[in-house]
A and B are shown apart, each in its own frame.
Chain A
Amino acid sequence: MLLQLEDVVLTYGKIEALHGLSLEVAEGEVVALIGANGAGKTSTMRAISGIRGLSSGRIVFDGVDITKRRADQRMRKGLCLVPEGRGVFPGMSVRENLDMGAYTRRDKAAVAKDFERVFDLFPRLSERRKQTAGTLSGGEQQMLAIGRALMSRPKLLLLDEPSMGLAPMLIQQIFTIIAEIAHQGTTILVVEQNAQQALSRADRAYVLETGQIVKTGPGQELLKDPSIREAYLGVA
């Protein structure tokens, strides 16, 4: 297993956001985590990436217990999160944002190649490489955030609501690119409210309700599950 969460409990003050959550991601998989607002999707991502410490439980990544590691140390191990709301550095140019993705890398030649790769995936970013990130549209910022994460050559790419606030056509485009990234060999864990898109593209999926996993299975199977269709796909 590339990533394992065991009985993860995460609290904000007195409020418990995750009550003993366990999940796993194997190498090469695309795993989706779906759930309603407030189910704990973003909290799960914060726990994995290390922005928020755990109250109890364990996180193992690539055979190493990273529970006590800081976010920047986890990133150096090959775990990169595209945070909710994109989190591009608004005052930096597109180019500088991508440079930030490669912040920890010293292999300049390979970094230059990855620039090409990102610009191939997102031609829009190539056109705007000198533009300040804060002035990009929502879709472009999302592309930039994903491109920046790719610059770190992650073993596991974490995506938190990549479709949030985007027009339907753009959502389609973003998911196509995510599929392409997966196809190129990056393991992906994606959190989504857009269950239709997430389930149809994922190898496996977890359903999160009030801080706990309530269901798991292959994406296609969950798509057909009547209770899921009712709760998340708006089909009676």
Chain B
Amino acid sequence: MDFTSLIDNLGSHTVDGLTKGAIYALVALGYTLVYGVLRLINFAHSEVFMVGTWTVFGVYAVFNATAASGVGTVILATSVALIAATLASAGTALAVERIAYRPLRKKNAPPLIFLITAIGCSLVLVELFGHVFRQFFGPPFGRALVSIPTLIDTKVLFTVGGVSITNIQLIVIFGAVLMMVLLDLFVNYSRLGRGVRAVAQDPDTAALMGVNQDRVIMLVFVLGGAMAGVAAMLYTLRYDITKFDIGFLIGVKAFTAAVLGGIGNLRGALVGGLLLGVVEVYSSTLFSSNWEDVTAFVVLIAVLMFRPTGILGESLGKARA
């Protein structure tokens, strides 16, 4: 137990944790949005994120962007990558909904069938990148770790009270929080957002008010997917890698974050994500990095034991009638 190391660098560990947690939080939004409306844990969401990271890699390759590229190429490549990843992830999420979930809904399938289908979709997407694409296109597809060029070098931007903040940390935290604020405003203050909340609270009555449920469900998948796409972009800036199964652990952590904050609650996803990130970094300093995942799940179990609705409780579908 290395308390001195944690205490001495508490500030920088916290910022590290927040950076990590911001990405969890963005991905967590996808779980929470879909759960709020459909009462379904979309286990394919982790792969929605994975597709985003590959898209970033692809765009960089198209622009021939490397660590040595000039400023113009870097700005162009990262902007296009951000947009492309957002679209690709949103598109993947939408495709899963249209191809897999909607036909099940039309047949009134029981919840377990949805869950198994979700896991199936996740496996299909993983194997597409881990196996199928390799057969057709060869490497880098496959089961190996793929490194993504570092277009933006990590630099210390400024130091506050002995804590130095890097440009990447700032971009990740600011980007994630910005997306979450925009999503929160959309859901709480726009007409379509009201439709989303109506379906979450009472789907039958929402239909009686003229809300097209299928459209709301599509919207929710697209929004969650877009958030995962932005998360993928931020992730690649911070970690410079992707892999066919990169979504798995991030997905589980993001799901944990969603449950931690209160699944179905958008602000809960933020709280849960940030908290989980910070706890992970603290524990890896205290014990060793091997304990990071263990601690994350111990926290989850503790929350579920003492506060099963999560820290903030459910809100999107509050007191569903």
Q: Which of B150-158, B204-212, B272-280, B303-311 forms contacts with chain A? A: B204-212
- A104 closest partner in B (C-beta): B210
CB pair B194 A99 closer than 8 Å: yes
CB pair A103 B211 closer than 8 Å: yes
Q: How far is the CB of A140 from chain B (nearest CB, A)?
A: 16
CB pair B209 A101 closer than 8 Å: yes
A85 within 8 A of B: yes
Q: Which of B12-20, B38-46, B252-260, B312-320 forms contacts with chain A? A: B312-320
A163 within 8 A of B: no
CB pair B210 A75 closer than 8 Å: yes
Q: Which residues of B contact A75 (CB under 8 A)?
A: 207-210
CB pair A81 B208 closer than 8 Å: yes
CB pair A70 B209 closer than 8 Å: no
B107 within 8 A of A: no
B201 within 8 A of A: yes
CB pair B319 A72 closer than 8 Å: no
- B205 closest partner in A (C-beta): A87
Given contacts A90-B201, A100-B198, contact A72 B321 (CB under 8 A): no
B251 within 8 A of A: no
Q: Which residues of A contact B317 (CB under 8 A)?
A: 91
CB pair B321 A87 closer than 8 Å: yes
Scan B200-222; emit 1 where CB is below 8 A from any A CB, else 0.
01101111111111000000000
CB pair A89 B204 closer than 8 Å: no
The interface on chain A, measured as residues whose beta carbon lies within 8 A of the other chain's beta carbons, has a size of 27
B197 within 8 A of A: yes
A51 within 8 A of B: yes
> Which one, B201, B205, B316, contacts A83 given CB within 8 A?
B205
CB pair A103 B202 closer than 8 Å: no
Q: How far is the CB of A85 from chain B (nearest CB, A)?
A: 7
B195 within 8 A of A: yes
CB pair A103 B191 closer than 8 Å: yes
Q: How far is the CB of B48 from chain A (nearest CB, A)?
A: 27
The interface on chain B, measured as residues whose beta carbon lies within 8 A of the other chain's beta carbons, has a size of 24
CB pair B208 A71 closer than 8 Å: yes
A124 within 8 A of B: no
> Which one, A51, A90, A91, contacts B204 given CB within 8 A?
A51
A118 within 8 A of B: no
How many residue-residue contacts, CB under 8 A, span A and B? 79
CB pair B198 A51 closer than 8 Å: no
Q: How far is the CB of A98 from chain B (nearest CB, A)?
A: 11
CB pair A90 B209 closer than 8 Å: no
> Which one, B197, B211, B318, contacts A72 given CB within 8 A?
B211
Q: Which residues of B contact A148 (CB under 8 A)?
A: 209
Q: Which residues of B contact A152 (CB under 8 A)?
A: 209-210
Q: Which residues of B contact A50 (CB under 8 A)?
A: 207
Scan A48-80; emit 1 where CB is below 8 A from any B CB, else 0.
011100000000000000000011100110001
CB pair B319 A90 closer than 8 Å: yes
- B199 closest partner in A (C-beta): A89
CB under 8 Å from chain A, chain B span 139-192: 191
Q: How far is the CB of A87 from chain B (nearest CB, A)?
A: 4
Bound-state CA distance A148–B315 (Å) is: 22
CB pair B202 A72 closer than 8 Å: no
- A105 closest partner in B (C-beta): B210
- B317 closest partner in A (C-beta): A91
CB under 8 Å from chain A, chain B span 109-149: none
Bound-state CA distance A148–B202 (Å) is: 15
Q: How far is the CB of B205 from chain A (nearest CB, A)?
A: 4
> Which one, B210, B212, B318, contacts A90 given CB within 8 A?
B318
Q: How far is the CB of A209 from chain B (nearest CB, A)?
A: 26
CB pair A91 B208 closer than 8 Å: no
Q: Which residues of A contact B316 (CB under 8 A)?
A: 91
Scan A20-31; emit 1 where CB is below 8 A from any B CB, else 0.
000000000000
Q: How far is the CB of B1 from chain A (nearest CB, A)?
A: 44
A92 within 8 A of B: yes
A134 within 8 A of B: yes
Q: Which residues of A contact B194 (CB under 8 A)?
A: 92, 96, 99-100, 103
Residues of B within 8 A of A (CB): 191, 194-195, 197-198, 201-202, 204-213, 315-321
A-B pairs with lowest CB-CB distance, top 8: A91-B318, A104-B210, A71-B207, A87-B205, A75-B210, A90-B319, A89-B201, A100-B209
Would you give 5 A-B contacts (Cβ < 8 Å), ordered by A? A72-B211, A80-B208, A85-B321, A89-B202, A103-B209
